Amino acid sequence: MFRPLALFLACQMALPALAQQTSDTVAPEAGTAPTAFGTLSDAARTAMENRDAGRPVEAQDWMVVAANPLAVEAGADVLRDGGTAADAMIAVQAVLGLVEPQSSGLGGGAFLVWYDGESGELTTLDARETAPRRVTPQLFQTAEGEPLEFLDAVVGGRSVGTPGTPMLLEEAHRRWGKASWPGLFDDAIRLAEEGFEVSPRLAGLVADDPEGLSRFPATAAYFLPGGQPLRSGELLKNPDYAATLRKIAAEGADAFYGGSIAEDIVATVRSAEGNPGQLSLGDLADYRVVERPPVCAAYRGAQVCGMGPPSSGALTVGLILGTLEPYDLATLGPRDPESWRLIGDATRLAFADRGRYMADSDFVPVPVKGLLDPAYLSVRSELLRGDDALPEVSAGEPAYDHAQLRGQDESLELPSTSHISIVDADGNALSMTTTIENGFGSRLMTNGFLLNNELTDFSFRTHADGWPIANRVEPGKRPRSSMSPTIVLRDGKPVLVIGSPGGSTIIGYVAQALIAHLDWGMDVQQAVAMPHLVNSFGTYQIELGTTAEEMQQPLADLGYEVKAAEMTSGLHAISLGTTLLGGADPRREGIALGQ
Ligand code: GLY
């Protein structure tokens, strides 16, 4: 019963004429009962109240926002003790892997954007999972060459890519850490050994997936003890996870990429009954975090920066914003259907380019410069000059120094994942989106953590109409992502840190929140709580049970097919001005804490 209140208050400020929502319009999976986090600090409880009342959390020196209060408290402890944003992220991620295991963890991958307070430089690190060297482009096809059903591909060893998160933690600490490495795992180890209260969201998602979670004995024993799904508020211990963290704390990421943990991962993947995979010890030993050039797009005098390929996030967000730049969204405002026609069709155009051009740039040349070139963006902007929904959209022709024919993509990405935003007292800012892909990943568990199913972010088909698809499976390749960890710079200084989970809808969530903040003047809490309207592929999705539904008829009148759906983003944002303001998405369990 908390979320409708938050949305109501946010909308009262931002969308006065749309704020007719009643408290019976709650979407499933949204509410967060504070009683489920019995051991929280007063500050965390206040932060929850702020979130649910639609108010941002204010601080002077540092701020951390993530998807679970226990994880946020672990990060806050590190920042309070003088640790950097990179140190705090490690503590947050270690706890998230325990208390929000369905979304991210050691068995997954992540992208990290770092603004360095001292040098003013922006760095992006790619810790995306990697396809094993033994896979073939037909990995997700039947013997007849047809794509597998999505869940048949997800559940089991076939979908597991080489995890990147443990090496990212070590790399971030090596570059930017100040705190002692082993101590950063203390909170997670304590919670894993002494137990933590299962959150309502975790319990709800376990209850929704009895079939997947019962497929493999280790996973079933943990999530369905005695055959019963975990209950909200129940104390849960994970000694295997504690032992894994102890090893990583003592030996670094090498303890994960070699030795007994690596052997267990490989054995779990290769012996997965009914759907084994091909991950090898060599794949784990070869894994590397890759530094990539940041991708920045100009918007309203700011630079919106994020992760380039293999993520499509920053490029597609940049395409949406660049296409919208000539239009005066600030004057139109969020209540005018014209704003949503422009945003919806800009998003569809951007997704058409994404499907044609974006994939792992180590394997496929991606026209990053051409797509964000002002001349190209202005061609795309002109397509929005009409009055009604574009009847159809297709990829454009950005300047490109490669001649290649490409088929249109066929990748399915379902909502999952987690986002961490942190600013520290040294002026560093960190934006990291972290994932094991589908909720509970491949459903395979070993050493206390779940293994990802990230390889299903590849296109299951290799070709469309005879032309090769950029995001097809290839050995050693990283699947295209939609994760959009973002830092917005103005005059070279960070003004906003933001990102979200949500599969391919991440891009729409982040773009909308950026527009809400930069064009419509919403504070970060209003911007992340605002009801969603996203059109990536032709159907306008509007958020079920929110004031967004008031746009249903106006959008249909413009020619869109419109569908009200649950849209469970997990936007976590920090704005940097005279003070720090933190906003946590009321659709999940996250909070902002600062000092
Ligand atoms: N698996 C979600 C993403 O990478 O976009």
- CA-CA distance, 33 to 20, in Å (whole number)? 24
Ligand 1 and 431: CB distance under 6 A = no
Provide the phi-psi class of 512: left if phi over 0, else alpha when psi is between -120 and 50, else beta. Answer: alpha
458 in a structural domain: yes
First to last CA, the chain: 29
Nearest partner of 199 among 238, 230, 227, 220, judged by Cα: 230
pLDDT of res. 410: 56
In 387-444, which ranges are E strands? Answer: 418-423, 429-435
Both tokens of 566, joined, read 């649950």
417 is catalytic: yes
Sheet holding 493-499, edge to edge: 57-59, 580-584, 572-576, 493-499, 486-490, 302-306, 295-299
Ligand 1 and 165: CB distance under 6 A = no
Q: What angle do CA 284, 290, 294 make, to 5 degrees?
A: 155
Contact 485, 262 (CB under 8 A): no
Expressed as residue numbers, the domain containing 141 is 5-291+411-594
Contact 131, 474 (CB under 8 A): yes
Q: Looking at ligand 1, which residue's alpha carbon is closest to its atom 3? A: 481
Residue of 413, 453, 471, 509 with the most ligand 1 atoms within 8 Å of its CB, for mutation: 413
154 in a structural domain: yes
- What pairing do the DSSP bridges indicate for beta strands 429-435 and 109-115? antiparallel
pLDDT of res. 1: 24
- CA-CA distance, 127 to 146, in Å (whole number)? 30
Contact 34, 53 (CB under 8 A): no
Measured in degrees and rounded to the nearest 5, phi and psi for residue 573 equal: -135, 150
CA 126 to centroid of chain Cα atoms: 14
Contact 436, 105 (CB under 8 A): yes
- What pairing do the DSSP bridges indicate for beta strands 295-299 and 290-292? unpaired
pLDDT of res. 184: 98
Ligand 1 and 283: CB distance under 6 A = no
Element (H, E) at 569: none
Ligand 1 and 413: CB distance under 6 A = yes
345 in a structural domain: no
Q: Please name every residue paired with 564 in a beta bridge, in sequence order, or none if there are none.
A: 542
Q: List all residues 6 or more positions away from 359 whose beta carbon is below 8 Å from its beta carbon.
A: 309, 310, 366, 470, 471, 472, 477, 480
pLDDT of the chain, 595 residues: tens digit per residue: 223 333 323 333 333 223 222 222 223 233 344 445 667 889 999 999 999 999 999 999 999 999 999 999 999 999 999 999 999 999 999 999 999 999 999 999 999 999 999 999 999 999 999 999 999 999 999 999 999 998 899 999 999 999 999 999 999 999 999 999 999 999 999 999 999 999 999 999 999 999 999 999 999 999 999 999 999 999 999 999 999 999 999 999 999 999 999 999 999 999 999 999 999 999 999 999 999 999 999 999 999 999 999 999 999 999 999 999 999 999 999 999 999 999 999 999 999 999 999 999 999 999 999 999 999 999 999 999 999 999 999 999 999 876 565 666 655 555 579 999 999 999 999 999 999 999 999 999 999 999 999 999 999 999 888 888 889 999 999 999 999 999 999 999 999 999 999 999 999 999 999 999 999 999 999 999 999 999 999 999 999 999 999 999 999 999 999 999 999 999 999 999 999 999 999 999 999 999 9
334 in a structural domain: no
Nearest partner of 318 among 329, 333, 303, 330, judged by Cα: 303
Tell me how crowded residue 561 is: count the other CB atoms within 10 A of its CB: 11
Nearest partner of 541 among 560, 559, 565, judged by Cα: 565
CA 330 to centroid of chain Cα atoms: 27
pLDDT of res. 27: 30
285 in a structural domain: yes
367 in a structural domain: no
CA atoms within 13 A on the CB side of 237: 7
pLDDT of res. 203: 96
pLDDT of res. 14: 35
Ligand 1 and 482: CB distance under 6 A = yes
303 in a structural domain: no
3-state secondary structure of 228: coil
- The residue annotated as part of the active site, out of 417, 446, 462, 546, is 417
Q: How many domains does the chain have?
A: 1
CA 273 to centroid of chain Cα atoms: 30
Ligand 1 centroid – CA 150 distance (Å): 15
Ligand 1 centroid – CA 95 distance (Å): 20
pLDDT of res. 11: 34
Contact 127, 165 (CB under 8 A): yes
Contact 120, 492 (CB under 8 A): yes
3-state secondary structure of 264: helix
What are the Cα distances from residue 316, in Å, to 47, 58, 150, 346, 483?
Answer: 32, 31, 24, 10, 10
Identify the CATH number of the domain in which residue 29 sits: 3.60.20.40
Ligand 1 and 424: CB distance under 6 A = no
Ligand 1 centroid – CA 438 distance (Å): 8
pLDDT of res. 408: 61
- CA-CA distance, 124 to 292, in Å (whole number)? 6
Sheet holding 109-115, edge to edge: 290-292, 122-127, 109-115, 429-435, 418-423, 63-66, 591-594
Between helix 42-53 and helix 3-14 the angle, nearest 10°, is 50
344 in a structural domain: no
pLDDT of res. 22: 24
